[in-house]
Amino acid sequence: MLKFIGLGSITTAIAPAVLLQACKEAAAVVDTYKFTALSAGQAASVKAIQDMIIPRTDTPSASDVGSVEFLDTYVTHAYKPEDKARMLHQLDRFAVKLKEEHGVEVANATEEHLVAMMDKYFANYTAPKEKEVEMEIEGNKIDNPTDSSEDKVDYKDDTTEINMLLSGIRWITLESYFSSEKVATEVLNYLPVPGPYIGQMPIADLPNGMNWSL
Amino acid sequence: MTLFDENSPRKYDAIVIGSGISGGWAAKELCEGGLKTLVLERGKHVEHGDYPTANIDPWDLNDDSPGIFKIGEGHVRVTGDQGFNEEEQETYKVQRRTGWSASRTTARHYCNDKEHPYLEAPGARFDWIRGYQTGGRSLIWGRQSYRWAPIDFEMNKRQGIAIDWPIRYKDLEPYYAKVEEYIGVSGRTEGKNDRLPDGVFGPPMDYTKPEEVLKDKLQTEYSDGRFMTIGRTAHLTGETRPGRQLCQNRNRCERGCPFGGYFSSNSSTLPAADRTGNMILRPGSIVKTIVRDETTGLATGVVVIDKDTKEEMEFSAKVIFLNASTAASAAILMQSGDWANESDQLGRNIMDHHYQLGARARVEGFEGLVEKGRRANGYYIPQFRNRGGSSDVKGFIRGYGLQGGASRSNWMRGVGEMAYGKSFKEEMMKPGGWHIGQTAFGEVLPHPENKMTISGEMDQWGLPKLMFHTKLRENEIEMRKDMLQQSAEMYERAGFKDVETYENKDYAIGLGIHEMGTARMGHDPKTSVLDRWNRVHAAKNIYVTDGSAMTSSGTVNPSLTYMAMTVRAAEHALKAIGEGAI
């Protein structure tokens, strides 16, 4: 869990004044987080996708634990320039296709719209035959103005690119979610210093049936 | 620990070059024997307990750990290669070749490849994974601790490979016991001393259920004597030791263990040496040469270059223990003149254990069982090929052991699934199915052309960069086919599902981090560098007791043997000094 969101682990032993101060600071950091790779529109697409993969239930969603900011920082620091350009292109195409196919902006998309996108480009996706790919690439070259500015990257057709985007975001979403403090310490079973090792413990002894977080 | 300062003497009874797993033992034994001892370490100082990443969780702040990035007041983590930016990847270019070493939390215990470059001959590759700090690689070692079998010392002679070992199992046996007792080795007594001699053990760690299944199947499915035991590992499981607590099963060993749960020079031997009042440790000390008196044929001291100031200084001593690690110890001898190399074997016969291949499978059932704790250990199947009788095979000589383990998968299994949404999320929060995997570790034969030389290129200290000329040869390549086939067959016979083999075809000598053999022991100064007491033939007060002394490589993890050799050699040196012989 990103520290600035993870207040759940603060115990009641902490004086209320301190807690209040901590809340203020945490809120300030959330507000002041400056995206360094994603535009506001691209961040909205990331949030929509990540919260489809891990939605909010009685436990937090992906974006609740800072997955969008995680991805932004990750792309900023660890992606090669061409990989970063590709992801941003893919996010843009995701928004374009959402609009084309469902007539909505990302911010106004309903769960139904997003399920349709996830099913089409991810869960039910099958790689197209070579000929179809060529045709769609040809089409993109005419229609897509961002292509000329990213001429170093050899983009494939939109369907393939969006599938790559969703497949790629999947692991970064899981990674940031399950390595967040909130999920690791409050949802899963957190055991930093196990003490004696037990090789064959009955699963019934695992609190709530939740896995170990570390 | 007592560190060198400007008031420290230049003259000692003993100098130990290197503070790693064997150097630490040399320091302890010599200091406890009453010798004023200078321990030289080329890297930075790491005091036991000074392990800043030891307790960090994935979400914790730590600016010193490559791959952890800051967001506002919080932190995020990223894993694997992608967590390292390009500069960090370059800094640990070789150190990270294993795929698991020099991670974001352990990189501080690996050397900086940019600062410490070396060369590979055209077409050759050598993976030189190093730990430049007090304690050396004892901070990051695999901790698996096995005795050699008696037969391992005899095979060179029987098969006419290289030269005969000048020692036998019985020569090391009491020292194995002494080391095991002191460092604490968790393990199970098996009563199969011809294959894998038992030692002095603390309580064994548990098996997981699928491991037990495999263990039982090996008994019923094979008649060649193969068997499994739980990994014999240098973790405290029974009784504590001075300054060390029991292993807490955190599996964060390579970050340095604040509990001292596993053995390292830092947690154990160096503090013991320090307690005698006889040790002075000098970090940042790069040894340039060992100085030898031509008339007496004895070493008189060492020339050291300060890592930071690059100032040269000389220290003298009656006895020198060279424990700089295989390649570095040979390099120091090479830089010191020709006197150690009458045999022309210095720097040759580099061996390792070739590995990173084996099998993995899914295990059905046992969903009612989970592990508690993160066991930093697995199971071990000792060498079962070419041990005589029905175990002998054609195609290759010597053999290999297998190290493996079974555990339940976690959320990472979701990375490959085409699912999303509520039920996917809930599923990922529960333990996944059981998986099992094993890796083979094979013997590499000594070959004179697997060698290192000193090149004409200099490093920033004006010392020659080493050049390595190493490659796998026919026997190892043949053996690898059997390693794959047998790994998979055992899993099939155990009834595991979706059995598949894997192999890192890029394995290169050194990647096993068991490099050894550059100054082999032998009877004859014309064919070996060291005598049966680990002394340089041409300088009887220089003892070399790290991996360079090895005449063959065996199949088990080698550190326990280096430690036992060191204790034996130190006892010999103390006796020689007591008698006035050196």
Q: What is the pLDDT of residues B223-269, one digit of tens each?
A: 999 999 999 999 999 999 999 999 999 999 999 999 999 999 999 99
The B451-458 sheet, strands edge to edge: B119-120, B464-469, B451-458
Q: Best interface-test mutation with A: which of B86, B235, B429, B434 has the largest number of A CBs within 10 A?
A: B429
Same domain for B367 and B397, yes or no, is yes
Per-residue model confidence (pLDDT) at position B159: 98
B305: helix, strand or coil: strand
B431 vs A contacts (CB less than 8 Å): 203, 206, 211-212
Contact B372/A194, CB-based, under 8 Å? yes
| Structural domain includes residue A208 | no
Least confident of A200-209, B415-424, B523-532: B415-424
pLDDT band at A103 (very low <50, low <70, confident <90, very high): very high
Strands B535-536 and B539-544 come out as antiparallel
Whether the pLDDT of residue B29 is over 60: the answer is: yes
Q: What is the largest CA-CA distance in chain A?
A: 67
Domain membership flag for residue B194: no
- Is ipTM strictly over 0.90? yes
Contact between A214 and B57 using a beta-carbon 8 Å cutoff? yes
The reported pLDDT for the residue numbered B575 is 98
| Domain boundaries, position A107 | 16-128+160-203
Which among B4, B39, B563 has a CA at the least distance from the CA of B321? B39
Residues in chain B with CB shorter than 8 Å from the CB of A206 are 370, 431
pLDDT, residue A77, reads: 75
Q: Do residue B249 and residue A180 have CB atoms under 8 angstroms apart?
A: no
B394 and B311 in a common domain? no
Q: Which residue of A has its CA nearest to B258?
A: A193
| A163/A122 Cα distance (integer angstroms) | 6
Q: Which residues of A touch B83 (CB under 8 A)?
A: 78
Q: Nearest by CB to A194, which of B77, B374, B421?
A: B374
Nearest to A3 among B59, B408, B429 (CB): B59
Residues near A20 by beta carbon (within 8 Å), at least 6 away in sequence: none
Residue B38: give the domain boundaries: 1-74+88-186+232-352+449-460+512-582
Would residue B158 count as lying in a domain? yes
C-alpha closest to that of A90 among A37, A128, A138, A54: A37
Mean pLDDT on B535-547: 98
Cβ separation of B59 and A209 shorter than 8 Å? no
> Is B197 a member of any domain?
no
Grade residue B540 by pLDDT with cuts at 50, 70 and 90. Answer: very high
Cβ distance A198 to B367 less than 8 Å, yes or no, reads no
Q: What mean pLDDT is predicted for residues A15-38? A: 54
Q: Residue B76 and residue A210: Cβ atoms within 8 Å?
A: no
In a domain, B345, yes or no: yes
How near does any CA of chain A get to the CA of B57, in Å?
Answer: 8
Q: How many domains does chain A have?
A: 1
Of A133 and A52, which is predicted with more confidence? A52
| B498 or B71, higher pLDDT | B498
pLDDT of the residue at B422: 97
Residue B275: count of CB within 10 angstroms of its CB:
15
Mean pLDDT of B123-144: 97
Higher-confidence residue of B489 and B86: namely B489
> Best of B53, B68, B71 to disrupt the A interface by mutation (most A CBs within 10 Å)?
B71
| pLDDT for position A175 | 87
Q: Shortest CA distance to B551 belongs to which of B448, B400, B467, B479?
A: B448
Contact between chains at B84 and A181 (C-beta distance less than 8 A): no
**Inter-chain touch A200–B250, beta carbons under 8 Å:** no
Residue with the bigger pLDDT between A138 and B360: it is B360
pLDDT band at B222 (very low <50, low <70, confident <90, very high): very high
Question: Based on the domain organization, do B18 and B144 belong to the same domain?
Answer: yes
Do B43 and B113 fall within a single domain?
Answer: yes
Long-range contacts made by residues B310-313, C-beta under 8 angstroms, separation at least 24? B310/B460, B310/B461, B310/B462, B312/B288, B313/B10
What is the pLDDT at residue A32? 66
Q: Is the pLDDT confidence value at B297 over 90?
A: yes
Q: Are residues B168 and B307 in the same domain?
A: yes
- Please tell me whether residues B220 and B280 are part of one structural domain: no
In this structure, is residue A97 part of a structural domain? yes
Q: Is B384:B443 a contact under the CB 8 Å cutoff? A: no
Domain membership of residue A151 (yes or no) is: no
Express as a percent the part of chain A with pLDDT over 90.
Answer: 60
The verdict on residue A59 lying in a domain is yes
Q: Using CA atoms, how far apart are residues B150 and B561, in angstroms rounded to an integer?
A: 12
Residue B83's pLDDT is 57
Contact B205 A178 (CB under 8 A): no
What local confidence, expressed as pLDDT, does residue B100 receive? Answer: 86
CB-CB neighbors (< 8 A) of B408 in chain A:
211
B59 vs A2, A73, A200: nearest CB: A2
> What CA–CA distance (Å, rounded) separates B33 from B287?
24
Reply yes or no on whether the pLDDT at B356 is more than 80.
Answer: yes
pLDDT of res. A7: 28
Give the percent of chain B with pLDDT over 70. 96
Domain for residue B280, yes or no? yes
CA diameter of chain B: 82
pLDDT average, residue stretch B516-539 = 98
What is the rounded average pLDDT of the residues B41-58? Answer: 93
Residue B21 included in any domain: yes
Nearest alpha carbon to residue B386 among B434, B443, B341 = B443
SS3 category, A139: helix
B562: which 2 tokens?
Answer: 């280096």
Name B289's bridge partners.
B303
Note whether residue A177 is domain-resident: yes
Nearest CA in chain B to A35: B71
Q: How many residues does chain B have?
A: 582
β-pairing verdict for B279-282 and B74-77:
unpaired
pLDDT for A134 beyond 80: no
Residue B517 lies in a domain: yes
Nearest chain B residue to A179 by CA distance is B58
pLDDT surpassing 60 at residue B24: yes
What is the pLDDT averaged over residues B93-102?
Answer: 90
From A152's Cα to the closest Cα of chain B, the distance in A is 20
* pLDDT score recorded for residue A11: 28
pLDDT value of residue A131: 55
Query: What string of H, E and C letters represents the secondary structure of B403-466?
Result: EEEEEECCHHHHHHCCCCCHHHHHHHCCCCCEEEEEEEEEECCCCCCCEEEEEEEECCCCCEEE
**Which residue(s) pair with B313 in the sheet?**
B304
In-domain check, residue B196: no
Quick one: pLDDT at residue A176? 87
- State CA B13 to chain mean position distance: 29
Q: Are B268 and B213 within one domain? A: no
Q: Please name the residue of chain A whose CA is at the shortest distance from the CA of residue B86.
A: A78
Chain segment A52-95, per-residue pLDDT in tens: 999 999 999 999 998 998 898 888 877 889 999 999 999 999 99
Please state the domain count of chain B: 2
Q: Per the CB < 8 Å rule, is B431 touching A203?
A: yes
The answer to whether residues B138 and B247 belong to one domain is: yes
CA nearest to B82 within chain A: A78
Q: What's the token pair of residue B566?
A: 């060191």
Nearest chain B Cα to A123, which residue? B418
Are B170 and B267 in a shared domain?
Answer: yes
Say if residue B176 is in the same domain as residue B221.
no
Could you tell me if residue A6 is inside a domain? no
Q: Return the pLDDT at A30.
A: 52
| Rounded average pLDDT over B346-370 | 98
Mean pLDDT in residue range B126-144: 98
Please give the residue of chain B at the shortest CA–CA distance from A173: B415
Q: What residues of B are in contact with residue A54 (Cβ under 8 Å)?
A: 420, 424-425
Residue A22 has pLDDT above 50, yes or no: no
Cα distance between residue B16 and residue B544, in whole Å: 10
pTM here? 0.90
Best probe of the B interface among A24, A25, A54, A77, by most B CBs < 10 A, is: A77
Cβ contact, residue pair A181, B55, below 8 Å: no
Mean pLDDT of all residues in chain A?
A: 80
Which residues make beta-bridge pairs with B454? B466
Closest CB to A203 among B72, B75, B370: B370
Chain A residues touching residue B249 (CB < 8 angstroms): 194-197
Establish if A214 belongs to a structural domain. no
The answer to whether B146 touches B563, Cβ cutoff 8 Å, is no
Do both B221 and B177 map to the same domain?
A: no
On whether residue A31 sits in a domain, the answer given is: yes
Instruction: Answer yes or no: do B55 and A192 touch at CB < 8 A.
Output: yes
CA nearest to B20, candidates B563, B445, B384, B457 = B563
Alpha-carbon distance values, B350 to A34, B89, B113, B116, B482 (Å): 53, 27, 21, 20, 23
CA of B221 vs chain A CAs: smallest distance (Å): 24
Question: Which tens digits make up the pLDDT trace of A151-202?
Answer: 567 899 999 999 999 999 998 899 889 988 899 999 999 999 999 999 999 9
- Asked if pLDDT for residue A150 goes beyond 80, the answer is no
Query: Could you tell me if B318 and B414 lie in one domain?
Result: no
Model confidence at B74: pLDDT above 80: no
